[in-house]
Amino acid sequence: MGDELQADVARYGPSQIIHLDHEKSIQYSPDLWATVIAEAIREFSGDIILTSASIRGKDLMPHISAKFEKSTAQDATKLFWEGDKLLIIRPMYAGKALASFSFTGTPQFIT
């Protein structure tokens, strides 16, 4: 990960930033990427896993969360803590309504 990108991500306060580099990761493969990322989540005990809501992020995250038998919260527009629970806000019905919810247990997967 470039120093500039790592510094940009670090300003949001994550407890860890993990850069994965796998020799077969040059071409996108959701199954391979999900396997490698799931192994890192287990190794580093990730609790909240975030990715962009890009086409690739929204394709990849469900592959990862399935390896933990968890759901993915897609298209989150706001995240905030209420006590010890992470609350997630996301649009529903083509943006006509907003849903607020939280997950139980970890890891939690959010785009």
What's the pLDDT tens digit per position in 9-23?
A: 888 877 777 777 767
Is residue 71 a contact partner of residue 108, using CB atoms and an 8 Å limit? no
pLDDT over threshold 90, residue 109: yes
- pLDDT (tens digit per residue) in 42-99: 998 889 998 889 999 999 999 999 999 999 999 999 999 999 899 999 999 999 999 9
Residue 26 binned pLDDT confidence (cut-offs 50, 70, 90): confident
Is residue 72 a contact partner of residue 109, using CB atoms and an 8 Å limit? yes
pTM of the model: 0.82
Nearest 5°: the CA angle 43, 50, 52 is: 135
What tokens were used for 26? 């040059």
pLDDT at position 2 is 64
The C-alpha atoms of residue 83 and residue 57 are separated, in whole angstroms, by: 28
Q: Would you mind telling me the total number of residues written for the chain in this entry?
A: 111
